[in-house]
Amino acid sequence: MPADRFDTVIAGGAVVSHRGVEVMDLGLRDGRIAALAGPGALKDAAPAQGVIDARGLHVLPGVIDSHVHFREPGGEATEDFGSGSLGALLGGVTAVFDMPNTAPAVLDRESLAAKLALVGRHAWTDYALYVGADGGNSHLLADLETAPGVCGTKVFMGSSTSSLVISDPGDLEGIFAAGARIVSLHAEDEARILARQHIAEAAGDVRVHGEWRDVESAVAATRLAIDTARRLGRRIHILHVSTAEEIALIAANRDIVTCEVLPQHLILAAPDCYEAHGTLVQQNPPIREARHRAALWAAVADGIVDVIGSDHGPHRLADKAGPYPNRHSGMPGTQTLLPILLDFVAQGRLSLLQVVDLVCAGPARVFGIAGKGRIAVGHDADFTLVDLGARRRIDNADIASRVGWTVWHGREVAGWPMATVIRGRLAMRDGEALGGPQGRPVRFHGALAPEATSGATSGAAA
């Protein structure tokens, strides 16, 4: 193919890149970005069927949801990688990172290879997997973290929808001493949770969820994680930060700690959220009072927050109903992640550049993703095309997740994902998935290339 010809041209969109926001054309070749040019400069440089008219739309780097639970293997009655990644795609997400608390859990080479082969058959987006730590596999982690398609190690310091709980500080030290890539943590203190469980059982009311799994349970675990990371020189990433006190700890240790917040912690506050939604908003760590929400927003404004993820944790409505605390914690969210953030832009709470940093550049920076997260020549041709002027009502009927519900049902939002392009291929347009599941493993700096994996895994991922 001549140097001035492209497989696809995205024409006339307002491109959000290192140059700012600028109307331009993008030339795509062999799944990567080959040229950035002025508007109209590339209109005749691709076959007619390869021109994507982006006039009136903003072109973002492909959105990365770095925190999902797609439940496969073992939980397919609730969700599988096909339904979960389809929802992500329809919501404008081009890559997802899936958690290891499946059945079986991802703890060794065999379970990792089996899961990669399984999910690669029906992934609509690109993907990476976390490996789990259970206190007995520390000797394997340095090898596992560099395997193709692995984004890092996940540690559950407090029990949630998982049997992978690290409550012994000695086990935590062993995990941090193994390997070099980032460790992501669910930071709640298991001993404190168990000691306070009587509060939830006596009340039988979800309104005490934040009293049971209280602020100190999160702060104690985050403090222990930071102290251990400091002593052992390991980078850590605190997931779903929910308290003002944790933000202060993280801000004082930015050289070794990055963090994530969730949309639900930026929108909801106790006790009103429990009055309105009951156990639908039961999650770990809990939705907390308004002072914590305000602190999270301040942390976003100050650049302390690196990533916003969905923590997509689907459960069937029947599993969310009934007596508390014997209900599942978690809520679906990958399909609504970007619409909620675009609505924050419309409200003036975020700028579009902040959104790009939090769900594109931020994940790439934190996890060392190769070739994604920004619009630059040589990077993967991943894009999310959005209409900032579109107004939509989020509806359960449109949710692709197998559970079929969202806590944002009925919420009006301004701004909507209109198309996704993954490695140069138009994968979604106007709410319709195109071309079938063709997701591949995400590549990482310092990790083996996906092509280096076994025949079964690489074939499934193609």
d(CA 222, CA 121): 37
Cβ atoms within 10 A of the Cβ of 204, count? 11
d(CA 38, CA 194): 60
Q: How many CA atoms lie within 13 A of 360 on its CB side?
A: 31
Cβ atoms within 10 A of the Cβ of 382, count? 30
**Residue burial 183-200, b: 16+ Cβ < 10 Å; e: rest:** bbbbbbbbebbeebeeeb
In the residue annotation, 357 being an active-site residue is answered as no
Compute CA distances 251 → 41, 187, 232, whole Å. 45, 16, 19
d(CA 116, CA 441): 8
d(CA 444, CA 434): 27
CA-based nearest residue to 242, from 215, 223, 274:
215
Residues 6+ apart with CB under 8 A from 296: 241, 242, 244, 247, 261, 265, 266, 305
Residue 271 preceded by cis peptide, ω within 30: yes
Compute CA distances 26 → 23, 125, 150, 351, whole Å. 10, 21, 30, 23
Catalytic position from the list 65, 126, 311, 343: 311
Helix and strand numbers (H, E) in the chain are 17, 17
Residues 6+ apart with CB under 8 A from 436: none
d(CA 159, CA 116): 25
Residues 6+ apart with CB under 8 A from 160: 101, 186, 188, 284, 329, 330
- Give strand pairing partners of 13: 24
Give rounded-to-5 percent helix, strand, coil for the chain. 35, 25, 40
CA-based nearest residue to 235, from 216, 208, 254, 214:
254
Residues that are catalytic:
311
